[in-house]
Amino acid sequence: MSVAPPPGAEDEPATPPLARAEGTLDPISLGNVTIVHDYLNQRGGAEKVVLEFAAMWPDAPIYTSFYRPQSTFAEFQGRDIRTTALDRLPVDKGFRNLFPLYPAAFRTLGKLPGDVVIASSSGWAHMARAAPGALHVVYCHTPARWLHRSEYLSTGDHRAWRETAILPVKRVFRALDRHAARRADIYIANSGGVQQRIRAVYGIDAPVVYPPVDTERLVPRPRGERLLVIARLLPYKRVDLVVRAAKRLGLGLDVVGDGPMLAELRRIAGTGVKFHGVVSEAAIVQMLESCRAVCIAGEEEFGIVAVEAQAAGKPVIAYGRGGSLETVEEHVTGVLFQEQTEEALATAILAGERLDASPEELATRAQRFGRAAFRQNLLAAIEAQRLVSPPTNALRGRSRVRARR
């Protein structure tokens, strides 16, 4: 979701300290770690993953194309963040228009040092290079949507001309993208759907490690009166379907998030729809705990919001593809609809009214996606790989990494 706290708002930490249980794997066993991320100018699930990396390895530098402190989580302030020359450009919301520049920008970072270089990538960070001897890990939120899935660019009449406009450069960037992916030692997928996409696009078999969800910050409470959407207002998120379905059913709807679709959504909205734009994490918690149900109309790679909704005791009404198939239990924690139409979503919302799982039961089912599970599953995946093969960029890396255990 693309939301940021208003100036002066007191926000809860996105990644509070997490105690380590006895007998669990310790992040320090990996030695010196370097973190890489596409860009730090949003407040979404990918950025929460980077914050979790930073909590696991507090001394790790974070390399990124550019950093906008006012547009992302406040917890990044004070971290050792190292940017490319793109940081000097007066760009924030229009960052997608810089796509021809990102490969070169990450190349200018040179070969990143450390025993382990871990990239959080949905399109660019995997292009960073690791120094000889470093284990290169990519935690993949998705292979680049704009390269491999056209619905990211637009919907309706606009899609065709945008696809045509970038077709010549797509072939070049796909080659760069695949070459960069195959340089990594370990690819890790954030869901089963992304695992399949990684195999199809790159020919790489990647283990699945679900992203961290801070379920502990939410309290399961009874259902309220209004539907809720928390999302970046991008075409593929299909928030327009939720707005139309809520209007059709005469239900109130709160929309949290910002993006290029905002003007169009305002145009089609009924009087019961309220657009909140940027809000604090505390406000998001309050809305999750007091809403009627959470709606997700786009295909998500994973969908942290779906898990947060359950942790708050709320059912999820979601499009039945992608990550929702893994986070939502049909007719237990939510309802899945199979066609991205206003009618199908409205029918699913009404079916959600008949679900009888208690708020406490929903919250219990969300715990399997908690932060502690993420840490252990991530470390286990990395340990399993480095036991069977050395870093691809230097055979001496295996002995150096093992020596630090």
- State the pLDDT at residue 195: 96
Cα dihedral 173, 107, 93, 237, rounded to 10, equals 50
Provide, rounded to the nearest whole percent, the portion of the chain with pLDDT above 90: 76
pLDDT value at residue 150: 58
Q: How many CB atoms lie within 10 A of CB 234?
A: 21
Q: Rounded to whole angstroms, how far apart are CA atoms 61 and 30?
A: 15
The answer to whether residues 257 and 230 touch, using CB atoms and an 8 Å cutoff, is yes
Q: Are 171 and 163 in contact (CB under 8 A)?
A: no
List, for residues 46-65, the tens digit of each pLDDT value: 999 999 999 999 999 999 99
pLDDT digits (tens, 9 = 90+) for 325-363: 999 999 999 999 999 999 999 999 999 999 999 999 999
pLDDT at 162: 55
* pLDDT confidence tier of residue 126, bands split at 50, 70 and 90: very high
What token pair was written down for 228?
A: 């809720």
State residue 237 phi and psi, 5-degree precision. Answer: -75, -20
Q: Is the predicted pLDDT of residue 103 greater than 90, yes or no?
A: yes
CA-nearest of 377, 378, 402, 379 to 390 is 402
In this prediction, residue 230 has a pLDDT band, given cuts at 50, 70 and 90, of very high
pLDDT at 397: 39
Q: Which residue has the higher pLDDT, 366 or 24?
A: 366
The confidence band for 160, taking pLDDT boundaries of 50, 70 and 90, is low
Q: Is the pLDDT of residue 166 over 80?
A: no
The residue with tokens 């928030």 is: 239
| pLDDT value of residue 387 | 79
Contact 129, 107 (CB under 8 A): yes
> 296: how many CB neighbours lie within 10 A of its CB?
28
d(CA 209, CA 151): 25
Predicted local distance difference test score (pLDDT) of residue 6: 38
Domains of the chain plus CATH, in order, are: 29-212+370-398 (3.40.50.2000), 215-367 (3.40.50.2000)
d(CA 108, CA 171): 22
With a cut of 70, say whether residue 185 has pLDDT above it.
Answer: yes
Q: What distance, in Å, lies between the first and last C-alpha atoms of the chain?
A: 37
Say which range, 32-36, 135-139, 160-164, 355-359, has the weakest mean pLDDT.
160-164
pLDDT-wise least confident of 90-94, 165-169, 228-232, 363-367: 165-169
151 within 8 A of 162, measured Cβ to Cβ: no
The three-point CA angle 200-151-87 to 5° equals: 90
Tell me the residue type at 248.
Answer: R
Q: Are 239 and 337 in contact (CB under 8 A)?
A: no
Mean pLDDT, rounded, for 374-379: 96
Q: Measure the CA–CA gap between 134 and 119, rounded to whole angstroms.
A: 13
What gap in Å lies between CA 39 and CA 106, rounded to an integer? 11
Contacts of 396 (CB under 8 A, 6+ apart): 132, 133, 390
* 136, 183 contact by CB (below 8 A): yes
